[in-house]
Structure 1
Amino acid sequence: MIQKHVYIVMGVSGAGKTTIGKLLAKQLEIPFFDADDFHPVENVKKMESGVALKDDDREEWLENLSIKITEWQGKYGAVLACSALKEKYRKQLQVLPQDHITWIFLHSDYEVIRARIAGREGHYFKPELLQSQYESLELPSYGIHVDVDQSPEQIIDEIMEKVKNKAEIGLFGLGVMGQSLAINMASKGYSVSVYNRHIDKIEVDIAKNFVSENAGLKFQGYDNLKAFVESLEKPRNILLMVNAGKVVDFVIEDLLPYLEKNDLIIDGGNSHYKDTIRREKDLKKKNILFMGAGVSGGEEGARKGPSIMPGGPENSYKRVGPILEKIAARDKTGEPCCTYVGPDGAGHFVKMVHNGIEYGEMQLIAETYHLLRFHTSAKPDEIADLFEEWNRELQSYLLEISVDILRKKENGELLLDNILDAAKQKGTGGWSTNAALELGVPLDTISAAVMARNISGMKEQRAAAAKLYDLKTSEGENINELKSAFFEAYKATSIVNHAIGFDLLTAASKEYHWNLNLSEIARIWTNGCIIRSKLMEDLVAKFNNYQQHLLMQEEIVLEISNFRTSLLKVVGKALEAGFPVPVMSAAANYLLSFTVEQSSANMIQAQRDYFGAHTYERKDKARGEFFHTQWLQEEK
C-alpha cells in the first residue's frame, strides 16, 4: 500500500479523469476524490448552462482543494481528479513538496476526446465547451503523460509502471561526462537510474558511490544490467556515455536481451555518423529506437548546460527532447541550445563538424600565441592582455580560456612552458577530413589543424630534425607594430574556418537529404559548447537570411576584403621568419583559391588527359561537353 502521497489526475473534460482516478485509487488502496464535487454551487450552475468558468470563479474552488490536498496527504494520501488546465492553477495546488504530489496528465487528440464527451449521458459539461478547454490547456513539462486512446486497463498498467518509483531516464557509463550529465538531469527534477560496470580491483562500486555522494538527488545506482533496465519507466530511455567505436556495439549487444519494443537508446558519445546510421537501421529491425546525440561543453558544460545535437527518428526526439532541452544551455533569448538536427546520423555529423571547427580555432590561437611569443618576443602576460582586449569584441570561449592559461603559474613559473608540445586528436577532426574528401568539399583549415596535431606528436623526430637542420627563427619584430595586423589576420582566419565547416554541413545535408538548418545549428552553438563566440551569434542571423556559402555574404565579403592584406602579411612574415602557421596559411590559400577566377586547374586537366585520357572541358564550349587531345605527335 502506497500511503501519504497525492496523485492528481488532470486533463480536459472527457479525458477519463474520474474513471482512471477511481481505478488508480483502487490499485493504490487510497481514497478517490473528484475536484468537481468541490465546486461552489454558482460554478456548477454556470457549467450546466454552458458558461465557461473564469479565473475569478475558480479562486475559492482552488483554495478549498489546496486545503484538502494537505489534509489528505497528512492522513492517508489520495487520488484527485482535477482538470488543472493552466500552470497557475497547478502551482496553487502544489502545496506539498514535489515528492509528495504526482501529476498524471491524461491526453489525446481533440477528436478522440470530443467523441467520448458526445457519448456521455447525464453530465453537465457540454461538448461545445471542449474547444475552449483545449485553448486554455497549458501542457505540463513534468509528471506522467498518458495517451488515453486505449483501454482503461492499459492506461492503469502504464500509470502503475511509472509510479512504482521507476526512473524517467537511465544513464549508462559514469565517466566524467556521464556523471556531470546525470547530476544535471537530476538537478532539473528528473529521476535517473545510473549504471556502471563492476570489475574487481578496477571499477568497484562506481554507481553505488556516485549515488551516495549525491544523496540529495533522485538517483538509483546499479552495477547489474538487468536490474538497471528494469528500474526504468516504459518505454525506456537509455543514454549511453561510453567511448565511441566497438564499445558502443558491445554495450548495445549486452542491453538487447532486456529491452522491449519502442525502448530508446541514445548514444551521447562522439560516434562516427556512419556507425550511427548502421546502428539505427539494425535496431529498427528489432523494434528498438536509436538516436545519436552530440554533446559539447566538456565537464562543466555537461554539468551546467551543454549544447546538444540530437539526430535520429523525429518521433524519438519528441519523446526525449523535453529532457534534453531542459538540461541544455540557454541562448541569449532563453531558448535551449538543443534542437532536432535531422534523421539518422545527422546529429553525430554535426557534432563532428563542430569538433573540426574547434580544431581550427584552437590551432589558430596556438599559432598566434607562438608567433607573438617567439617572433615579437612578447611576454606571456602581454599576450594574455592582448587576447583579453581582443576578446571584448570576439567573446570567444576558447580565447577566454587561453587568457587564463597564459596567466597560470606553477612555483612562480608559467605552467604552459612545462607542458609537452605534442597534441592528440580523438578522431572527430580526422573524420571531418575524410568526410570532406568523400563529399568533394575543401576543408583546408580543419585538415591543416588535424595534420598540425599529427606532426606535433612526432616529438622525438622533430627534436632530432631540429638539430640536424639547425634552422633559426628570427626575432625582433615589435608587438605594437604588428598587433593590429595580427588581430585582423586572426579574425579573417576564424571567419574562413567557420565558413569551411558550414560548407561541409551544407554538402552533407544535400548528399544525405538531412535538410540541415544552418541557422539553428549556429544558434545551439552560441552557448554551452566549446566554439561559442560572438561570431557564432552573428551567424544565426546570417544563415537565417542566406543559407549559401558564408564567404559569399555581403557583410562577410566586406570584412574579409578589409582583413585580407593583414592575413597575407602575417602569413608571409611568419614563414619568412621560420615559424609554421598551418591554419593561417591554409586560410590564406583557401581565400586566394576561392576568390580567383582563373585557377591553375587547367594545367592539371591537361596533364590528366595527357597521361590517362581523362578528357577535359573547354572554355569556348558548353559545360558538360568533354574533349580529348592526342598530345604527343608521332614522328613521321
Structure 2
Amino acid sequence: MLIIVTGVSGTGKTTLGTALSERLHLPFFDADHFHPKENIDKMSQGFPLNDEDRQPWLKALAAQLRESELSGGAVLACSSLKESYRKELSVDDNLRWIHLKGDRDLIWARMQARQNHYMKAGMLDSQIATWEEPSYGYHLSIDQSPEEMLDEALDYLKKESMKMKMGVIGMGVMGKSLALNLAEKGVPVSLYNRFVKGQEEGVAQQVLDENPDFANMQAFEDLKLFLDSLEKPRKILMMIPAGEAIDAQLDSLIPLLDAGDLVIDGGNSFYKDSERRVARMDQLNLRFLPMGVSGGEEGARKGPSIMPGGNAEGYEMVADFLGRISAKDKEGRPCVTYVGPGGSGHFIKMVHNSIEYGEMQVLAELVHLLRFGFGCSPEQVSGIFSDWGKGELKSYLLEITTDILLFKEDGELLLDKILDQAGQKGTGAWSLTTALEYGVPYSPLAEAVNARGVSGGKELRRAFSKTFEHSFIPVQASLESWLPKLKSAYALARVINHEVGFGLMKTVSDSKNWNLNFNEIARIWTNGCIIRSGLMENISVHYSPSLEFFEMPGVKEQVISGRKDLAELVGLGIAHGFAMPVMSAGINYLLGRITAESSASVIQAQRDYFGAHTYQRKDDPSGKFYHTKWT
C-alpha cells in the first residue's frame, strides 16, 4: 500500500503523513529529506526550484517508492505540484493520492509560524501558481483539526480504495493474534468470522472494536464481501479447527475463488488430510499451503515459528508477509521456511508437538520426584530449574515450568489446585500411529501420549491407590549428591526425545522423497515455537544426514556421560513409587540402540518355533534364512 500526501508547503503533509503511517503501521518518508544539498541551498536563499532541479529529487523518490512497494508499502509526504511530477511518482496502479487543499491565508499563517524550515513563507505564491489540480485521488480540506483530517483520510482509504493484502478466516485466539500481528507489520488484513445467530455474531467486528489503533483492518461476516475486499490473487489464511471444518470451509470458498488464488491452512491438520487437499486444489488451479504454526497465543501475536508446505508458488506469494510476522533466530533471520511438498508442513508440526509432549512429561516427572520424593518446596524446584536454564539446558518449557512453580493464588500454589488430568488434541497420537506405520521406534514419545491417557482415569486412580496402598516413599539420599545426576539425566532424556522425533521425520522424508532440510527445520525451531531451546540451536548447526543423531557434537558427549545417571534416576524413582514413563522408556530405548548383542535373537527363535517365520544366522553373512524343527 503506497500513499502519497500532496499539497503546497504549509498544508500539513508531514503531520497527516506521520499520523497515517502510525495508524497503518507503514514507514513514513518526507520528500523534503530527499532533496540534494544544492536544492536545499537554493530554496534556503529564497529561490524556487525549476523542473531541472527537481529531476534527481523525483528519481530518488520514485526509487524509494519502488523499494517500499516490495516491502509492503509506505506513506510519502510530497508537494507533487505538477502532473508531470506525479506521473514520475506513479510507480504502482494501486498507489493512493491524498491532495491537501486550503485557503491561502490559512496556509500563509501556518508557514509564518514554522521555525527553522528552509522553505520560506514568501515562496507560497510561487507554489500555488505552479500547482496543477489533479482530477484523481482524494481532495482533503485542511480547514479542520489534524484528528478530523486523519479520520477522513482513513475513511477514504478504507472504504473507497484499499484492497487488503491478506484475509484471515476464524477469529479464535490464534486467528485473531495472527491477524493483529500482520496488521502491526504493515499488512492490510480483512477479517472474517462466520455468523451463527445467538452464538457467533459480530465476532470479526469485535476484534476491530477492541483494537481501534489498527486502521488497516476490515471485518466481515459475508464471505463474498470478504473475498471482494482482497487484492488479487487472493491470499487467505484459515485459522479454524482441523478436520471436517477445513473441508467445509474449502467447499464454501472454492466456487468464489479465481485461478491462482492461495488458501492457507494454519491449523493442526493431519498431514495426510493436507496432502489430499493440496491435490484437490491443484486440480482446480488453486494454490494451497498446509502450514504449521507454533508458539501459542503469545507467539502468534508477537512472532511464531511457521512451517508452510504444499504449493511452492503459493509460498512465494506470502513469503514476505510470513517473514515479517515470524519470530527471528539469533542472527535475525525469520523463523519460517518452505518445508516441502504435500503435507510436509503439517507433518513436521505434528512431530514438533510430539517432541513437545515428551519434553513436558519429562519435566512433570522431575517436578513430582523432587517435590514428593526429595521433599523440595516448589520454590526450591523452581530455583533448580532456573539454575539449569542459565546454561546449555535453557528452553522455553523449562522457563515456564520455573514460573509455574512460583505462581500463587490467594497465597497458595495454583499448581496444587489444578486437576491432574492431562488433555491432548491429537497431534501426539498422530505421530505415534505414523511411527507404527513406518516401523520407527517411538517408545519415549509414545509414553508421553500414554501418560496423558493414564492420567485421565482420576477416579479409578484414587480407588486403586487405596486398594493397593500406594504412596510415595521419601528418598533418603541427600539432594545435593543427586543434583548433578538429575541434571545429567534430564539433559540426556531431552536428547533422546529429539532423536526419536528427528528419526521419524527422516524416515518419512526419505520414504516420500520430500528431501526435508533438517538444519533449516531445527533453525526455525530455535525461536517462536514451544520446543525452542539451546539443544535445538545445537541441532540446527550440527545436524548432518551423513551423521547419526546421537553422534552429533554436543550430543554424543551427553549420551556417554548421562546414560548411567538416567538409569540410576529411573531406578530411584520407580523404587520410591514414582511413575516415570518417558524417562524410563528413554533409557530403555537408548540401551536398545547402543547394545551390540541384544535379546532379539530369543524373539526370532520364538517366532520360528511357533510360526516357522525363519531367522538369519550370525555365522552366515550371506543373509540366508533358516528354519529349525525345534521339537
Q: TM-score, normalised by structure 1?
A: 0.76
Partner of 2:562: 563
Aligned length: 512
Partner of 2:538: 538
Partner of 2:88: 81
Secondary structure at the aligned position of 1:208 is classed as helix
Partner of 1:295: 293
Correspondence list, 1:405-416, <5 A: 405-416=404-415
Deviation at 1:600, TM superposition (A): 1.1
- For residues 163 and 537 of structure 1, the distance between their equivalents in structure 2, rounded to whole angstroms, comes to 48
Taking a change above 3 Å as real, the CA distance of residues 5 and 76 of structure 1, as seen in their structure-2 partners, is farther
Taking a change above 3 Å as real, the CA distance of residues 223 and 570 of structure 1, as seen in their structure-2 partners, is same
Partner of 2:339: 341
- For residues 620 and 211 of structure 2, the distance between their equivalents in structure 1, rounded to whole angstroms, comes to 72
Deviation at 1:601, TM superposition (A): 1.1
Deviation at 1:509, TM superposition (A): 0.7
Deviation at 1:163, TM superposition (A): 9.5
- For residues 256 and 376 of structure 2, the distance between their equivalents in structure 1, rounded to whole angstroms, comes to 61
Letter in 2 for 1:528: G
The C-alpha deviation readout for 1:557-602, integer Å capped at 9, x for no partner, is: 2221111111111001011111111111011001100000111111
What percentage of residue pairs aligned between the two structures are identical?
Answer: 46
Letter in 1 for 2:249: V
Taking a change above 3 Å as real, the CA distance of residues 60 and 356 of structure 1, as seen in their structure-2 partners, is closer
Secondary structure at the aligned position of 2:630 is classed as coil
Taking a change above 3 Å as real, the CA distance of residues 605 and 219 of structure 1, as seen in their structure-2 partners, is same
CA contact (8 A) 1:4 1:77 kept: no
Correspondence list, 1:281-320, <5 A: 281-320=279-318
Partner of 1:432: 431
- For residues 239 and 3 of structure 2, the distance between their equivalents in structure 1, rounded to whole angstroms, comes to 37
Correspondence list, 1:132-151, <5 A: none
The C-alpha deviation readout for 1:241-261, integer Å capped at 9, x for no partner, is: 001111111111111121111
CA contact (8 A) 2:168 2:236 kept: yes
- For residues 80 and 240 of structure 2, the distance between their equivalents in structure 1, rounded to whole angstroms, comes to 42
CA contact (8 A) 2:61 2:89 kept: no
More divergent stretch after superposition (300-309 vs 475-484):
475-484
Letter in 1 for 2:522: A
CA contact (8 A) 1:4 1:78 kept: no
Partner of 1:247: 245
Secondary structure at the aligned position of 1:292 is classed as strand
CA contact (8 A) 2:374 2:474 kept: yes
Deviation at 1:629, TM superposition (A): 2.1
Secondary structure at the aligned position of 1:392 is classed as coil
**Pair 1:508 & 2:515 matched:** no
- For residues 415 and 183 of structure 1, the distance between their equivalents in structure 2, rounded to whole angstroms, comes to 31
Partner of 1:189: 186
**Pair 1:165 & 2:172 matched:** no
- For residues 592 and 555 of structure 1, the distance between their equivalents in structure 2, rounded to whole angstroms, comes to 19
Taking a change above 3 Å as real, the CA distance of residues 74 and 225 of structure 1, as seen in their structure-2 partners, is farther
CA contact (8 A) 2:58 2:85 kept: no
Deviation at 1:165, TM superposition (A): 1.5
Correspondence list, 1:1-150, <5 A: 58=56, 62=60, 70=77, 72=79, 79-81=86-88
Taking a change above 3 Å as real, the CA distance of residues 629 and 239 of structure 1, as seen in their structure-2 partners, is same
CA contact (8 A) 1:273 1:346 kept: yes
**Pair 1:457 & 2:464 matched:** no
Deviation at 1:60, TM superposition (A): 8.7
- For residues 3 and 233 of structure 1, the distance between their equivalents in structure 2, rounded to whole angstroms, comes to 16
Correspondence list, 1:582-601, <5 A: 582-601=581-600
* Pick aligned residue for 2:205 from 196, 208, 211: 208
Secondary structure at the aligned position of 1:587 is classed as helix
The C-alpha deviation readout for 1:325-361, integer Å capped at 9, x for no partner, is: 1110000000000001110111000100100110000
Taking a change above 3 Å as real, the CA distance of residues 600 and 65 of structure 1, as seen in their structure-2 partners, is closer
CA contact (8 A) 1:3 1:76 kept: no
RMSD over equivalenced CA pairs, Å = 2.9
CA contact (8 A) 2:465 2:471 kept: no
Secondary structure at the aligned position of 2:168 is classed as strand
Deviation at 1:504, TM superposition (A): 0.9
- For residues 58 and 243 of structure 1, the distance between their equivalents in structure 2, rounded to whole angstroms, comes to 54
- For residues 486 and 622 of structure 2, the distance between their equivalents in structure 1, rounded to whole angstroms, comes to 42
CA contact (8 A) 2:309 2:343 kept: yes
Deviation at 1:471, TM superposition (A): 2.0
Deviation at 1:452, TM superposition (A): 0.4
Letter in 2 for 1:609: D
More divergent stretch after superposition (603-612 vs 227-236):
603-612
- For residues 327 and 65 of structure 1, the distance between their equivalents in structure 2, rounded to whole angstroms, comes to 25
CA contact (8 A) 2:350 2:430 kept: yes
Secondary structure at the aligned position of 1:506 is classed as helix
Deviation at 1:74, TM superposition (A): 8.2
CA contact (8 A) 1:489 1:564 kept: yes
Deviation at 1:64, TM superposition (A): 11
**Pair 1:578 & 2:577 matched:** yes
Deviation at 1:229, TM superposition (A): 1.2
- For residues 557 and 538 of structure 2, the distance between their equivalents in structure 1, rounded to whole angstroms, comes to 15
Secondary structure at the aligned position of 1:416 is classed as helix
Deviation at 1:5, TM superposition (A): 5.7
CA contact (8 A) 1:503 1:549 kept: no
- For residues 546 and 357 of structure 1, the distance between their equivalents in structure 2, rounded to whole angstroms, comes to 20
Partner of 1:48: none
- For residues 461 and 344 of structure 2, the distance between their equivalents in structure 1, rounded to whole angstroms, comes to 39
CA contact (8 A) 1:609 1:615 kept: yes
Partner of 2:329: 331
CA contact (8 A) 2:3 2:96 kept: no
The C-alpha deviation readout for 1:25-70, integer Å capped at 9, x for no partner, is: xxxxxxxxxxxxx9x9xxxxxxxxxxxxxxxx9469648999xx85
Letter in 2 for 1:385: G
Partner of 1:23: none
Secondary structure at the aligned position of 2:236 is classed as strand
CA contact (8 A) 2:538 2:554 kept: no
* Structure 1: gaps (5+ residues): 7-37, 41-56, 85-89, 91-97, 102-161
The C-alpha deviation readout for 1:484-533, integer Å capped at 9, x for no partner, is: 11111100100111111111111011011110111001100000000111
Secondary structure at the aligned position of 2:87 is classed as strand
- For residues 339 and 62 of structure 2, the distance between their equivalents in structure 1, rounded to whole angstroms, comes to 46
- For residues 235 and 623 of structure 1, the distance between their equivalents in structure 2, rounded to whole angstroms, comes to 60
Deviation at 1:312, TM superposition (A): 0.7
Taking a change above 3 Å as real, the CA distance of residues 554 and 70 of structure 1, as seen in their structure-2 partners, is closer
Taking a change above 3 Å as real, the CA distance of residues 427 and 61 of structure 1, as seen in their structure-2 partners, is closer
Deviation at 1:443, TM superposition (A): 1.1
Partner of 1:93: none
More divergent stretch after superposition (611-620 vs 250-259):
611-620
Partner of 1:128: none
Deviation at 1:282, TM superposition (A): 1.3
Letter in 1 for 2:538: D
**Pair 1:521 & 2:528 matched:** no
CA contact (8 A) 2:526 2:537 kept: yes
- For residues 371 and 84 of structure 2, the distance between their equivalents in structure 1, rounded to whole angstroms, comes to 70
Partner of 1:484: 484
Letter in 2 for 1:310: P
Taking a change above 3 Å as real, the CA distance of residues 381 and 63 of structure 1, as seen in their structure-2 partners, is closer
- For residues 5 and 504 of structure 2, the distance between their equivalents in structure 1, rounded to whole angstroms, comes to 54
Partner of 1:148: none
- For residues 64 and 505 of structure 1, the distance between their equivalents in structure 2, rounded to whole angstroms, comes to 47
Deviation at 1:464, TM superposition (A): 1.1
Secondary structure at the aligned position of 1:293 is classed as strand
Partner of 1:359: 357
* Pick aligned residue for 1:373 from 371, 395, 407: 371
Deviation at 1:269, TM superposition (A): 0.2
Taking a change above 3 Å as real, the CA distance of residues 284 and 60 of structure 1, as seen in their structure-2 partners, is closer
Partner of 1:234: 232
* Structure 2: gaps (5+ residues): 7-35, 39-54, 65-75, 99-158
CA contact (8 A) 2:542 2:553 kept: no
CA contact (8 A) 2:396 2:533 kept: yes
CA contact (8 A) 2:519 2:541 kept: yes
Secondary structure at the aligned position of 2:359 is classed as helix
- For residues 61 and 235 of structure 2, the distance between their equivalents in structure 1, rounded to whole angstroms, comes to 38
Deviation at 1:284, TM superposition (A): 1.3
